[in-house]
């Protein structure tokens, strides 16, 4: 894409350098605009994590989810995924190392990481850039996607890779 776009542009007689700089200038303004939104969200998530509340939520959810057939190893990942991208990446790396990348847990964790996204981060960054303070029902919509993705990953991986 990095080669194709400028090349195609040049062939279609676009002033590629000037067009690039013009577009890039917008990027800078946007980055500055999202900062307050990002600080607000990351601080709240950071406090929730540092206090141990997140960990204990996970501990609380484990037996509940184990009851319906969810492997307890995957619960922390499910809770972390919408809140923190780097956190989820770290948890998956740990799971791949401890369980093995080709185990059922390893494959399921990979699928969860690959098919869902950090909802709160995207919400903060996108809506922050447009200056939107009231996201209405978007949080629910995003979380529905995450929850569906989590349960579907477990189901499909069991189907494809299970014993």
Answer for which of 60, 64, 93, 162 binds other proteins (CB under 8 A) is 93
Find the binding residues for other proteins in span 57-86 (CB under 8 A).
none
Q: Which of 9, 58, 61, 71 contacts other proteins by CB under 8 A?
A: 9
104 interacts with other proteins by CB under 8 A = no
Residue recorded with tokens 């770290």: 90
Q: What is the DSSP letter of 103?
A: S
Among 79, 92, 104, 163, binds other proteins (CB under 8 A): 92
Q: Which residues contact 120 (CB under 8 A, 6 or more apart)?
A: 41, 45, 82, 83, 142
Is residue 54 within 8 Å of residue 61, measured between CB atoms? no
Residues in 20-59 that interact with other proteins by CB under 8 A? 20-28, 30-32, 34-35, 38-53, 56
Q: Rank residues 10 and 66 by Cβ distance to other proteins and give the closer one.
A: 10
The C-alpha torsion from 21 through 22 and 27 to 30, rounded to 10°, is 150
- Chain residues 110-149 in contact with other proteins, contact rule CB under 8 A: 110-119, 122-123, 125-127, 129-142, 144-146, 148-149
Q: From residue 1, give the alpha-carbon distance in Å to each of 4, 6, 8, 9, 25.
A: 5, 8, 10, 12, 20
CB of 69 to other proteins, least distance (A): 17
> How many residues line the site for other proteins (CB under 8 A)?
92
């Amino acid at each position: 894409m990095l080669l194709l776009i400028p090349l195609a542009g040049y062939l279609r007689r676009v002033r590629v350098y000037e067009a690039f700089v013009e577009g890039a200038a917008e990027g800078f303004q946007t980055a500055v605009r999202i900062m307050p939104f990002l600080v607000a969200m990351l601080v709240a998530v950071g406090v929730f994590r540092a206090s141990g509340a997140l960990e204990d939520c996970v501990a609380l959810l484990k037996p509940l989810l184990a009851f319906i057939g969810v492997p307890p190893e995957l619960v922390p990942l499910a809770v972390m995924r919408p809140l923190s991208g780097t956190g989820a990446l770290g948890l998956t790396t740990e799971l791949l190392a401890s369980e093995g990348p080709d185990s059922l847990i390893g494959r399921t964790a990979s699928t969860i990481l690959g098919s869902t996204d950090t909802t709160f981060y995207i919400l903060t960054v996108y809506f922050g850039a447009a200056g939107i303070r009231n996201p209405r029902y978007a949080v629910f919509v995003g979380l529905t996607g995450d929850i569906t993705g989590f349960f579907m990953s477990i189901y499909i991986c069991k189907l494809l890779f299970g014993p």
